[in-house]
A and B are shown apart, each in its own frame.
Chain A
Amino acid sequence: MSKANISRRGFLKGAAAFGGICGFPAVVPSSVFGQGAPSNKIVMGAIGTGSMGMGDLNGFLNKDEVRVVAVCDVDRRHRENAKNAVNGKYRNSDCGSYLDFRELIGRGDLDAVITALPDHWHAVPSVMAAKAGLDIHGQKPLARSIREGRAICDAVHRYGRVWQTGSWQRSVAHFRRACELVRNGRIGHVAYVEVGLPTGGTRGPQPEIPVPDWLDWDFWLGPAPWRPYCNFGGNGCHWDWRWIMDYSGGQLTDWAGHHIDIAHWGMDLDDTGPVEIEGKGDFPKNGLYDAPPTYRFRCKYANGLEMVVANNQQVPQGAKWFGEKGWIHVSRGGLSASDEKILREVIGPDEVQLYNSRDHLQNFIECVKSRKLTITPVETAHRSISVGLLGEIAMLTGRKIRWNPETEEIVGDPAASALLGRAYREPWTL
């Protein structure tokens, strides 16, 4: 095989002899690396094509370097919609569509997958894709539990996969700017950070209703505990699963992957975590939703840094670092500081320069080619959501949690440790 003909999938060629975990390819696809011909494209599949999934899918469909060949959803309407979008883009009818993600991963011709699923469905497909040698663009938060997040990290690391999380704020200039100013000491030593996230809501008890014919409800539930189908919010089980703790942790775990992620970036804490977590959530007293709409917890890091995470009625939304010489606050609304002068500061060439990505999805594509770490690699995503999940455990137990970020164990509280993972509903295993 000459160098020019190395297939992106060629590295998996040997796997053909083994059949493959999900049916490794018997035939090497024609995708070729770096020559500009149509077959040089990164071949992708999309798992989960609801509102978030379609956003990601359309983003990648607009990239010339990408060819999407398969889509998957347990909602037939989502599936058809995505398939039509792909076929419409390429003006053909080639797009494969699947209800079961295992079949999509098992196609054997993919280089990468994008996943946009409810949080409780993040770990199984991600680990499976990594072990099948695929690169992954996955939505935040990385996982529903810390044990799941570690399993994803391990699989991605073990097989040298490229991972990007949808924490796109890192690819936005003013967020990077805020973090560079903090990292380079423009507000002096920082001992206190505030992270404000949105406030959630509640919903009354909901009657059981028949499962619609377009939905595979049992598959949607997957590893989560069984419950009868009901209307979660405006759109069946879609979107509003966010407020039910079997599937997500509410606004806290939704947004931890954004603003805690940015707070960590500004403090160079991407590879570690807090050592103490303590706080209180106002768990709804009644109704369908059980994630706390309002919450506040405090994290202490080994270096003495204290971070308060709370909903935006208690601290302003975004990340706000308080230093000896002033503060810097960043949110999607922009960047502000205790003194305008701070914002005019120039970062010199010999100072800390953070990873510069201006186009989040493009960064993923480039890294799939170069095999470098993306702007939001898997370990970073894991550490960002771990803070939210530890906050959740501290609030659920009503106790201060001691955390060892090296071993990722809760210290001296076996009962709280039980909340680090969850048993999957059979036949799913991790």
Chain B
Amino acid sequence: MKRLISIILAAGLTATLASDVSAEKISLDDLSAWRGPTGAWMIAGDAVLNPQNERQLSPKAGKGVMINGPSGSTSNIITKEAWGDVSLHIEFVVPQGSNSGVYLMGRYEIQVFDSWGVAEPQHSDCGGIYQRWRNDRGFEGRAPRVNASKAPGEWQSFEAVFRAPKFDATGRKIANARFVEVKHNGVLVHENVEMTGPTRAATWENDEKATGPLMLQGDHGPVAYRNIVITPLAPEPKPKYPLKALIVDGQNNHNWKGTTPVLKQLLEETGLFTVDVATTPGQGQRMDGFAPEFARYDVVVSNYTGDEWPAATKAAFEKYMDGGGGLVVYHAANNAFPNWAAWNEMIGLGGWGGRNEKSGPMVRWRNGQMVLDHSPGRGGSHGPQHAFQLVTRNNEHPITQGLPEKWMHASDELYSTLRGPAKYMTLLATAYAAPDKGGTSEHEPMLFTVNRNGGRVFHTALGHDTAQLKSVGFIVTFQRGTEWAATGMVTQTEVPDDFPTADEVRLRTKNTANVPAGYGKEIVTWEFDKDRQALWAIEEDIRTSAGGRLLQIEAAMVKAMTDPSCTYAGRQWVCRMLRGMGTAQSVPALAAMLKDAKLSHMARFALQDMPAAEAGAALIAALDEVEGDLKIGVIGSLGLRGEESAAAKIAPLMQSENRMMAEAAIRALSHFSNREAGMALVQTQVAPELEALRLDAILMCTDTMLARGRTEFAAGIYERMTGAEYPVFIRLAAYGGLVRARKEQAAGTVVELLKEENEHLRLAAAKFVAEMPGEAATKAFAEQLSSLPAATQVVLIGALESRGDKAAADAVARAASSGDEAVAVTAVRALSTIGDASNVGMLAEMSVRGGATGRAAVDSMQRLGGDDVNAALAAIVGGQSDAAVRANVIDVLVARRAGEAMGALTGAAADGDGKVRQAAYKALGSLGGRDELPKLVEMLLATRDGSERGGIERAINAIAPRLDAADAGVVIKALNRADADAKARLLGVLPRFGGDEALNAVRFHVRRSDGEVKKAGIRAMADWPDAGPLQDLLIVATNQSDESMHVIALRGYIKLCTQPANRASSATTELLAKAFPAARRVDEKKAVLAALVRYPCAESLKLAESCVGDAALRQEAEIAVAKIKEALINKSLSATASREPNTTGNALDGNTGTRWTTGRPMKPGDWFTLDLGSEAAVKKIILDTRNSGNDYPRGYEVYVSFDGGEWGKPVLVGEGDNPITELVFEKPVHTRFIKMVQTGSSDSWHWSIHTLKVEFE
């Protein structure tokens, strides 16, 4: 925010600053200009080489020089003041081998170093602009043009002209920091060097600001400074928009005639440029006359490669560039002028035209940094066109700011091995030239900038032909790069939605071509009852067009609308369209229509929300020109548009005798919030029947003022309108406003309102209580609670609960003891929200009162939040309270699923009170686990009481399904010590565990016991969770003479036969068949027949048919035979699926026009399961997806099962690559259920099956 303000201030103060530039010399009489701590820095009169050690400086007494202490290693030192654009003069002295630096804005360093005598200075030598540092690598350092260093111990100087980075209103950087020039000892060592960010070891290395202090490095060696003079610069003049661009073309071995118009369009659609084109004479023709006035343009875009320009034109171009011009090098333009030295420096790198190692190095990105590759070879190459990925190497430059790190570019030539001087280059993006695409296996430079002398060059190697110019990555970087080359700034900071991603090419599909002549002529004759296809086509065109084409469509529509012969319907339709796209160009035509009784509404339809300011002006102008309904309409639109300047004109209309006009005027003013509107509403007397509307308008205005932060003013108005002289509903609204304006300070007002006689005001007060912020407010309300009538207390308690503020808990808890039941119930319920563990005791006591209060207390305890609530409840269970209280609390702990209360619950199982014990058993059953099981078993053995044992047995039964088979050991061991009744109960529990050990225990007791114990054992087998006791049950059923034991055993046998076991139908039939000879009653035989139907096969059919002769079974047998035959003959396919299971029939209906689909892009794990209806041998399954060509499964696994319950391992695994997927089994698979699991994935394609065919053996 600060940055924003400073920019605005800077802009506003431009004129002042320009005339009042004052140089500021930092006083070195002391260190008061510098931030503390200043370390060892000291003031001296001079600094000279230490004669004993030439690597050190010796101070001389006096003032005016600062030295970084005796050892030359202390903290860096930073000015208190901060600057933006400055010119800087600074003098320094270093001893032999020493090192320091001058950091503009604390961020951008000019290196200070003992570089005396260095022949080829680097960025790390004195006067260099030090490199930046990221990921342990340096980049972008800039060596001084010449080494101007003096000997160690001699005073030297820098003169720098520096521009701070610039930011837009949202804080995004639009221009880099820039050293306009740097002189070292009076010699120009840098010109026009842009910094994409702070240099290494800056005070702030990771951010950039609009202003910053000067920082001098003090920790790298002895140094002294003096004569530091900083002169703030007037801001640079803003660029003049629209910018003037010149595209140069005329010769090119590329499609320049096609690409130039697209480039022009791309620039024009930004709204930032006007574009001229300069076309050279053709190849081999005289070039003398080609002399564009470059100086008239902000930027030149070169789409040219061909014959040499005349020498004078080249010279003019060099002059233009050196003087601050801009150049965009587009694709093959870098093939031009291989022998023009200045050109090659401007473009940095070029290709073809005989370029080779003598032209300069190649630039590559290796090991995370830009490197120059001087190895020999031709300059310029590319493989076949293909889509490739760009990698943004610097996203701090305004051109690439905000772009993703990786993004795809449309199929294009990937320019490689470009060669050139490669000086003054800032690399923005590279692309990997893959060897399988004829590439170099190098990351080749694709986008970069060159700052040579005063000029700015943006170089894009992309964009072979018009197809490539649709690539959004090209478009965005071209539009941004051209603006930067023209101005040094990029104001197009938004990254559009359709920018490509790391793996998806994005093309601009919007149509930007010119519309043909006669476009939209159908509008003129259109009538409401006519074919509207032509109009639909324009509507669709608007949806799919962009840039200048939209303006052309608009112009065509306005032309049709203003045609004198145009129908009403046609004009109306145009206005509808203009509503969502109209610009200033259509305002004059619409303004004229405002006066037309039939068309005025439609004109407002287009104008009311049109962004152009001209629309508002047209509506205001119309106020004086129309009357009656049309004026009412205009007033309404002005109100909704918020044209506050119309307030003065609208205000007198509040008194219009036309009631609708007066209403419209009041409503319009209610949408304004300027002083005129407010004053008019407050001061104008209106007709009595409009008074309520006027008050409403005042409230609306006030609401807007409040929203705009005029809190006290708004509160004052609201307060006045709460007066008893106003209607209650106005007062209610005013109170609402007051509460919003005053916030917690309005608590007193709300408390008074709670006591109001008027019910509506009281109820409104409760709403304010619920919504007003602050703990203080809670306390104020809570204090009032007991003094209010019961009905109001109910309302207030509800409101306090809504606040959720625990500060009200005590007051609400007191209200819970109220004699008024409604108050008590509301308070008890409220405690569940605002109470805590401390309320548990009271609630527990109340829970036994019965009635609404008791129920509310139980409910409240169940819902009560807080960590220690369960502990408090557990304490009550173990405490001395009434038994009924403890029983209730135990139930509450169960409802709360309070596992941590297990100790108390176990204790309660030994409680002296029977009700408490039963509650505890139930709780242990619900919440208990492995630890509670042995305790419950011991309890069962310890008592003889039937009802106690019943409760304990239920608890064990409830726990067992949560445990493993191994846990049954506790029960099995206890069997030995148990009496007969306990044995029977314990045997009944064992099927819940299952497992061999438990089954053996059951077998033992079936064999060795009799009576109820034996029967309990047989029942346990019948209940067994798997087929384990199948044979045991058949033996018992066959041999047992006791009728009831026989029936239990046989029924159990039949049931276990039908449990899922992935068994073939014939095998299950064989098992079921064995039940027949064992059966003694017809009922069990019927049960076998009913079960057989589920296993259709030849054997089951035979078995069912064999029963038809038995008169007692005939009916059931015939039904079974019919059903089995049906299943065998029809082979009725059915299916289910992981997604869209209701539409699986579409895959089985033989219709290729319908389909089953996942309805979302393919993901591994989606499945489709076929039920063949009966078992069969399957050879092959064919999935046909031809009508959704890409929706075939990318990968699949196929499983089979006899019962659809167990699937085992896949029987087939494969990958799909064709709209017809054939699942062919190695040998026919005998199965009933087949599950196909999709294992591949796709970002865009669903998995669908249009038809599915099964081939049987």
Contacts and interface: CB of A to CB of B under 8 A. Distances in A.
Contacts of B46: none
B63 interface: no
A18 B688 contact: yes
Given A14-B726, A396-B580, A426 B636 contact: yes
A423 B693 contact: no
Nearest to A106: B689
B630 interface: yes
A349 B895 CA distance: 7
Interface residues of A, number: 73
Contacts of A349: 859, 862-863, 895-896
Contacts of B544: 398
Which interface residue of A398, A414, A423 has the most chain B CB atoms within 10 A?
A: A423
B601 A24 contact: no
A110 to B, nearest CB: 14
Interface of B is mostly: helix
Interface in A335-376: 338, 348-350, 370-371
A206 B527 CA distance: 11
A355 to B, nearest CB: 13
Interface string B549-576: 0000000000000000000000010001
A35 to B, nearest CB: 13
Contact of B543 (A19, A398, A419, A422): A398
B601 A423 contact: yes
B529 A225 contact: no
A131 B697 CA distance: 11
Interface stretch (A63-71, A82-90, A281-289): A281-289
B530 A160 contact: no
B637 A419 contact: no
A425 B633 contact: yes
A17 B691 CA distance: 10
A418 B580 contact: yes
A427 B664 contact: yes
Given A205-B530, A205-B531, A426 B629 contact: yes
B373 interface: no
A158 B630 CA distance: 30
Given A12-B728, A371-B763, A400-B497, A423 B608 contact: yes
Contact of B633 (A20, A22, A132, A424): A424
Given A12-B728, A286-B532, A225 B759 contact: no
Interface stretch (B729-737, B1039-1047, B1106-1114): B729-737
Interface stretch (B128-136, B188-196, B533-541): B533-541
B183 interface: no
Interface in A227-284: 227-228, 230, 278, 283-284
Interface string B606-624: 0111110000000000000
Given A11-B760, A14-B727, A423-B601, A208 B528 contact: yes
Nearest to A413: B611
Interface in B887-932: 895-897
A430 B729 contact: no
B758 interface: yes
A415 B580 contact: yes
A207 B529 contact: yes
Contacts of A397: 543, 580
B679 interface: no
Interface string A160-197: 10000000000000000000000000000000001000
Interface in B1114-1153: 1138, 1140, 1142
B965 interface: no
B195 to A, nearest CB: 30
A38 B44 CA distance: 101
A21 B497 contact: no
A429 B528 contact: no
Contacts of A427: 629, 632-633, 660, 664
Nearest to A134: B729
B640 A147 contact: yes
Contacts of A20: 689, 692
Contact of B636 (A6, A13, A206, A429): A429
Contacts of B687: 19
Interface string A208-226: 1000000000000000011
Nearest to B568: A226
Nearest to A429: B636
B529 A208 contact: yes
A194 B764 CA distance: 39
Interface of A is mostly: loop
A243 to B, nearest CB: 14
Contacts of B198: none
Given A11-B758, A11-B759, A15-B727, A414 B528 contact: no
A421 interface: yes
A429 B668 contact: yes
A225 B602 contact: yes
Contacts of A206: 529
A14 to B, nearest CB: 4
Contacts of B609: 417-421, 423
Nearest to A284: B536
A132 B692 CA distance: 8
Nearest to A425: B601
Could you say which interface size class chain B belongs to?
A: 35 or more
A316 interface: yes
A287 B664 CA distance: 36
Given A283-B540, A350-B862, A418-B610, A423 B729 contact: no
A11 B731 CA distance: 10
A314 to B, nearest CB: 8
B915 to A, nearest CB: 22
Contacts of B700: 154, 158
B258 interface: no
Given A11-B729, A429-B663, A18 B692 contact: yes
Nearest to A245: B576
Contact of B605 (A11, A23, A286, A423): A423
A416 interface: yes
B689 A21 contact: yes
B600 interface: yes
Interface in B412-439: none
B692 A396 contact: no
Contact of A15 (B692, B863, B1138): B692
A226 B528 contact: no
A245 to B, nearest CB: 9
A141 interface: no
Which interface residue of A227, A278, A397, A418 has the most chain B CB atoms within 10 A?
A: A418
A278 B608 CA distance: 25
Contacts of A428: 636
A160 B1140 contact: no
B728 A158 contact: no
B119 to A, nearest CB: 55
Interface in B743-763: 757-761, 763
A315 B1139 CA distance: 11
Interface of A: 1, 3, 6, 10-15, 17-24, 33, 131-133, 147, 154, 157-160, 194, 205-208, 225-228, 230, 278, 283-287, 315-316, 338, 348-350, 370-371, 396-398, 400, 412, 414-430
5 contacts: A158-B733, A159-B733, A316-B1140, A350-B863, A426-B630
6 nearest A-B residue pairs (beta carbon) = A398-B543, A426-B633, A429-B636, A414-B611, A418-B609, A19-B688
Given A11-B728, A17-B727, A416-B580, 17 more contacts: A18-B688, A20-B692, A131-B693, A158-B703, A206-B529, A228-B528, A283-B539, A283-B540, A348-B896, A350-B862, A412-B494, A414-B611, A419-B580, A426-B600, A426-B601, A426-B630, A427-B664
Interface of B: 494, 497, 528-533, 536, 539-540, 542-544, 572, 576, 579-582, 598, 600-602, 604-605, 607-611, 629-630, 632-633, 635-637, 639-640, 660, 663-664, 667-668, 687-693, 695-696, 699-700, 703, 725-733, 736, 757-761, 763-764, 767, 859, 862-865, 895-897, 1138, 1140, 1142, 1159
